[in-house]
Structures are given as C-alpha cells and as structure tokens.
Amino acid sequence: MNKNTKTIKGIDEKTWAAFKVIAAKKRLPMGRLFSSMVKSYEKNVDNTWDAILHSGKLLSNKEAEELHEITRKIRKEKWVRNASRS
C-alpha cells in the first residue's frame, strides 16, 4: 500500500469535512473509503448506462413515428427556426 499523501484540487473545506466525518462514522481510513467510493461510482455508472441502453421500449413503433412526424411539423414552422436567432 502506498503511504504517499495525495492532493485533490477543487475540494472545498465543507466537502473535505463531510468526507472526514463519513470516514469516521464508518471507522475506515480515508484512503480505503475513497477507494470504495470510486469503485461504487464506477459500478453505478456502468449499471445506469446498462439499464438505459438495454431497457425495453418506451414507445411503440407507431407512437415513435407519430412523435417524429409531430416534431418534423413543429421544426418546419417559421417561429421555431427563427427562435435560435434571437
């Protein structure tokens, strides 16, 4: 295990204090807590994207085509095309 002190830029005092409190409550060294938090974050990000990318359809094919048609019609309207210019 590497015992070198590392610094993380951009952490304010309030966040650092909260991190130390969490480590104390869990009775964990801050390094081990940090490692655990990184692993948990990576797992949750992967699970979230997996759920998004591999979930079932929200719309039927017919509903999706109707939504596309409505969107096309709205985009063709002059006020929508000019809205980004103001």
Task: Report the chain (86 residues): mean pLDDT per 10 consecutive residues.
Answer: 73 92 95 93 85 84 94 79 64
What pLDDT, on the 0 to 100 scale, is given for residue 37? 94
What pLDDT, on the 0 to 100 scale, is given for residue 83? 66
Cα separation, 52 vs 30, whole angstroms:
33
Q: How many helices (H) and strands (E) does the chain have?
A: 4, 0
Taking alpha carbons only, the member of 19, 14, 44 closest to residue 33 is 19
Contact between 31 and 37 (Cβ < 8 Å): no
CB atoms within 10 A of CB 22: 13
What pLDDT, on the 0 to 100 scale, is given for residue 75? 82
What pLDDT, on the 0 to 100 scale, is given for residue 80? 64
Q: What are phi and psi of 30, to 5 degrees?
A: -60, -35
Query: Domain coordinates of the chain in residue numbers?
Result: 1-55, 59-86
